[in-house]
Amino acid sequence: MDRRTFLAWSTHLAALSATALIPPDLPHAAAWAGLRPRLRRSSSPAAIPRVDARVVNLPHKDTHFTMPVTGSLSDWQVRAAHLRRQILCAAGLYPMPEKTRLNPQIFGRIDRADYSVEKVYIETLPRYYLCGNLYRPRGRTGPFPGVLSPHGHWHYGRLEHTSLVSVPARCINLARQGYVVFSYDMVGYTDTLQTPHAFGDEEEQLWSFGPFALQLWNSIRSVDFLQSLPDVDEQRIAVTGASGGGTQTFFLAAVDDRVTCAAPVVMISAIMQGGSPCENAPGLRLGTFNVEIAATIAPRPMLIVSATGDRTKSTPEVEFPAIRSIYALYGKASLVETVQVDAPHNYNQQAREAVYRFFGKHMLGDHDPANFAERPGRPEHLRNMLVWSGRSLPEKALSFEGVRNAWIEMGAGQTARIVERELVKERLVLVLAAEWPRRVISGVEGHQLVLSREGRGDRVVCLRVGDGVPDTIVVHDGGAEEASKSTEVDALVRSRRAVLLVTAFRTDTSVPPRPTTRYFTTFNKTDDAERVQDILTAIAFLRQQGAKDVRVTGLGKAAVWTLFAAAVAKAPVRWTGDLGRFTGSDRDFVGSFFVPGIQRIGGLKAALALVQ
């Protein structure tokens, strides 16, 4: 190569914000031996971290989170809409599946002086029964507001009756005050026993089947049930619960705007996000936490109840002001209130009376606190409250395996009916939590090109081979060094193509393993999802550099990574790859591309349809 050519080539590289050189063991390295100048580093090296943020300081259920700053109401509304989609997607409910008949059975009525109580079971899925009790006012004329009463992780579930927590006491008093109240089970509690409370192995996670998903579905169907009752005003639906029931309260209100008033108790915390499987699902809190999620209820009325003796002790000073700031964007700061009781984790009489007053004001139009003092009430004997006391489940009730299969069939059937290309892509983007970077930062470290998304703290190490702006990305499951030795890359370079070799997330053995915690995937993407992100970042970088027709190919397991990256890329991408024995089965996904929810939204078929 003559000096003029060499200088022209070096000038072109400087025009690119970054580049990288061929490793010395590349099969065709001798042919490019003259193209190894020492390249200048990025003009802003501090922007690219020395350690990938995705392997250090990872969020978990006990992380101390901080509410992000929101600039305007329109910014918040965009963010809130995304959070709702994320929650529903984590539950396998985006978009909402077709709802089957509830076939409600209401029986065993007990009449007291000013209220009645009945046993209830409904089919939230065909032959899967959600059970509970229905409390109604007596001596009043309806229609009445409806209240959903999810319970927490108390030993007796919806029938817990102690000084710290009495679910029957709150239901009785709410009925006396003029509400129809449905007190229903968590999955695996009391009468709702067709599944345990904890389940969701890796194959079930592929289909978004777990206690959080099933429980949120049950809550949504419980709204349907309340609204179907002739004595309920369907425009006035409230929800309140404590602990795990508090979690259900704000998640239900976040995703279902039929809920017009909410009172989550002892669960709005920036330092604890819930410790039960029914409060955590893969993908549920990626980039968010309970305080921000609860804020999506704005501007509907909400009372936040906390306790001095649990991890909501700072709610009045920390979490409540953060949520009130969102209500203030709507000009509705007065519609969110907070009360703290001096007690351990609870839903005691003081907390209940605070909720009665709040609901009375917003649901009944009654602003007189004197009308909402709790009156004593004696819970009924368990045999008079338990749905299956003295009877068996219906003959064709599903086993656990049957419930799982029904859930999978519901998701697969819905997916088969979705033909809108943009919706297919949107669901895939949500499951992968994939981001098309607004700006990719680049820098040179030795012979490596390093990419990073602005503000994300990630590192994508690449090698660049060939002259000019690369238009081809090659990813090997062993990293860029392994890709450089492949016959595929050799052929590309010999055909005078410029190629970017990407070391996808944690395919470099020098990268440390990620510390895992309980519910890790609730807060963090899987390695495979992060690999898709790295490929997307590389595609966006090439587009940023002026490449108009980007080609992506994957070698080995990376064929699947590149396929899904091409499927969700915002810019047109030509994908090639040999999937080998990867046929898209559950076993294939668990072994080679583990992303919870991926089968629920169409799996391999969806990705292939998007790259055609």
Q: pLDDT tens across 325-349, in order?
A: 999 999 999 999 999 999 999 999 9
Distance CA 319, CA 330 (A): 18
Mean pLDDT calculated for residue range 240-250: 98
Distance CA 70, CA 137 (A): 43
What distances in angstroms separate CA 11 from CA 39, 135, 155, one per listed residue? 11, 79, 72
Helix axes 558-568, 603-611, angle to 10 degrees: 60
Residue 311 scores a pLDDT above 90: yes
pLDDT at 154 (0 to 100): 96
Q: For 172-215, write each residue's pLDDT tens digit.
A: 999 999 999 999 999 999 999 999 999 999 999 999 999 999 99
pLDDT at 512 (0 to 100): 79
pLDDT at 46 (0 to 100): 60
DSSP code for 609: H
Residue 1 scores a pLDDT above 70: no
- What kind and span of H or E run contains 448? strand 448-453
Distance CA 210, CA 214 (A): 6
CA-angle at 465, arms to 45 and 612, nearest 5°: 100
Domain 73-414 has CATH 3.20.20.70: no
Closest CA to 174 of 136, 218, 117, 226: 136
Q: How many CA atoms lie within 13 A of 611 on its CB side?
A: 26
Mean pLDDT calculated for residue range 36-59: 68
pLDDT at 71 (0 to 100): 87
Residue 12 scores a pLDDT above 90: no
CA-angle at 184, arms to 309 and 96, nearest 5°: 105
Distance CA 539, CA 516 (A): 29
Residue 4 scores a pLDDT above 60: no
The class level of CATH for 24-57+427-611 reads alpha beta
Q: For 524-556, write each residue's pLDDT tens digit.
A: 999 999 999 999 999 999 999 999 899 999 999
Residue 18 scores a pLDDT above 80: no
β-sheet bridge partners, residue 337: 303
Domain limits, CATH 3.40.50.1820, in the chain: 73-414
pLDDT at 43 (0 to 100): 41
pLDDT at 509 (0 to 100): 77
Mean pLDDT calculated for residue range 361-390: 96
Beta carbons of 145 and 223 less than 8 angstroms apart: no
User: How many Cβ atoms sit within 10 Å of the Cβ of residue 570?
Assistant: 14
pTM, two decimal places: 0.92
Pick from 15-19, 106-110, 221-225: least confident: 15-19
Distance CA 11, CA 497 (A): 19
Split at pLDDT 50, 70, 90, the class of 467 is confident
Who contacts 250 (Cβ-Cβ below 8 Å, separation ≥6)? 262, 264, 267, 268, 290, 293, 294, 297
Distance CA 578, CA 566 (A): 14
Across the chain, mean pLDDT equals 92
Contacts made by residues 340-343, CB under 8 angstroms, sequence distance 24+: 340/305, 340/306, 340/307, 340/308, 340/312, 340/313, 340/315, 340/316, 341/305, 341/306, 341/307, 341/308, 342/307, 342/308, 342/309, 343/164, 343/307, 343/308, 343/309
Beta carbons of 236 and 32 less than 8 angstroms apart: no
DSSP code for 502: E
Residue 171 scores a pLDDT above 90: yes
Q: For 97-122, write each residue's pLDDT tens digit.
A: 999 999 999 999 999 999 999 999 99
- Letter for the amino acid at 302? M
Residue 355 scores a pLDDT above 60: yes
